[in-house]
Structure 1
Amino acid sequence: MHGPLFYSKILLFGEYGIIKDSKGLSIPYNFYKGALKLDKHHTISTHKSNAGLRRFAEYLENLQQEKPEMISFDLESLKADVEAGLYFDSSIPQGYGVGSSGALVAAVYDKYANNKITVLENLTRDKLLQLKAIFSEMESFFHGKSSGLDPLNSYLSLPILINSSDNIEPAGIPSQTANGKGAVFLLDSGNTGETAPMVQIFMENMKQEGFRKMVKDQFVKHTDACVEDFLLGDVKSLFGNIKQLSKVVLDNFKPMIPIEFHKLWKKGIDTNAYYLKLCGSGGGGYMLGFTEDIEKAKKALKNYKLEVVYSF
């Protein structure tokens, strides 16, 4: 058995903001991928993945008992495959903000859900929201709380525009320019990040009126503007808004930025060579960079590993 491939994702804009109804834009990233397989090699990592899937299967059984109207799985097949050594063979780094658990959730839904909504049918807004709700419940096993967007992106392999929590649609994004100087890139922090504690910090901060005001008046405002500029291909306006967003994050989301990157983050804002933002919940993993001149950014960040994910 070898299941279909499911890809990683990158949330270009909207981390934390989408919890508070900002816009968001998520794109598939085909460099990393994963598939369900039956274990023939019996390595430590396949055993670990199999044990994780065993716990996940138990969680899904409970979920089905609690919410039978929402979701139904072929649990017998899932359990039999887990017994036979089912594991998720994935190149997606875990704790890096590129959707490792999302791809796994998409793969399990695709293989074992009864009456599943398929990618081939007419995906109305209702169907998208239904999928997102199912994926949210499934992925909560990994993060404690999940929007369901990562698995949705992985499952559909389409860019997704989040207008608000109950208004999402597949998005057409401007096509990439093969030799464009502008780029979106991933910057490797060298450490993994844990989603749940970062979200916890954000939720604690949201209890303070000043922080709530900043999120609404600055963070969400610039995030929404970035999404609109990106979709319209308005590069000049986009970089003005990304610079503002990068400043807001540096000033107000310091715990989410690994401490050794605070200076590098500020250097980008001061020199305009690049602007950094969070990729996912932060705390480690990747950071997302935007630059109008990738060669200039590479020089400024010559000691770090960059991966270009989009050129314009």
Structure 2
Amino acid sequence: MEETGISESVFNQLLDDFSRWYNRLGYINMLKVLYNNRDHVPVYNQLIEATDVRFLLSMLIVSGNLSQTNLTILYDTIKVTGLFGFKSRIVLPPLQRIREREVSKFSWYRQFLLKLGMHMTRCDINMLDVRYNMPFLMNYNDSWQLILDLEQRKELCEEKIDYFIEGLPSYMAMKDLLEGMKFEKGFSFKMVSLIVADVIPVVTQLGTCDIELCFGDITKLPVEEKVDIVVVSAFRGDYSPTPTSLIGSLKLSLGLDVRRLAQNKEEDLREIHHCWWTSVLPKHLPFKRLMCFEAEHEGFSRPQEHVGDVFRCLNLILNNQDGSVITPLLNTGDQVRRNRVVGKYFHLT
């Protein structure tokens, strides 16, 4: 506790300046995530219904976390939110040294949620909405609303943070964010494999097969869960390992160079089925073979209509036997085809 000994009038002025600053920036929902702890705000409904930062501060006062002689939580809030430009009519020495502070009021997990909310993209929000709320989507206004809701439902908590992060489209950025934080002693971050969001059973002549909709990074598939075939897509003859493509991730994460593999194809059926595939890959990889589906060129008008070629080639590779295949939604990355359009053709095929 920091004994400031400030007067009631000075205290109220400081609270007014703090509230005005965060309200003006529209950060009340961010503060709700930061203060979403029963030790800080005991009544969750009051936290959620708050429309003014001043009311949040009054709840901190009631819970004994904020007073004229204890301003620690205000200083820590400024530090973890990074708003070092905060200006107040009240000049206090701790405010002048805010960057040097060691945060004591918020756990590493609460601080991580704050950083998560700051870095989360609209694509992340939409994907998480689908994962946790399908078919009745919440259509969250922002990342803070999503975090508060999933925390309240126990879908997001410290024990599940590895599962939560693994499914994000911006997974690599979130992983770097986690690794850059100072975790509490003994905390370890264990990555999980792909997250299965939905399963569609399909009845075939060979029996019932499952199509699994997964979130995550294909290149993080454990070798213990090895599949027969990984499918990638590319423009005709262009296997550039771009950072936004699966081809790029395969090279970066696994050292698998598709451009080099293309020089020694086991079978090349691009002229009739737009696909080629490799011979058996090294045993340390989580895929036995790689198959590449190619559009003819950037102006290739409707590559989604050729998705059926993928399945024809899969039958040839697997010799009409049972097998496992992992694939992204083809032609929707660097080739910028719409997910909904390509997905429709996968379904019809």
Would you tell me which structure has more strand in proportion to its own residues?
A: 1
TM-score class, shorter-chain normalisation, is under 0.3
Give TM-score, length-normalised by structure 2.
0.26
Structure ID, larger Rg: 2
TM-score (norm 1): 0.28
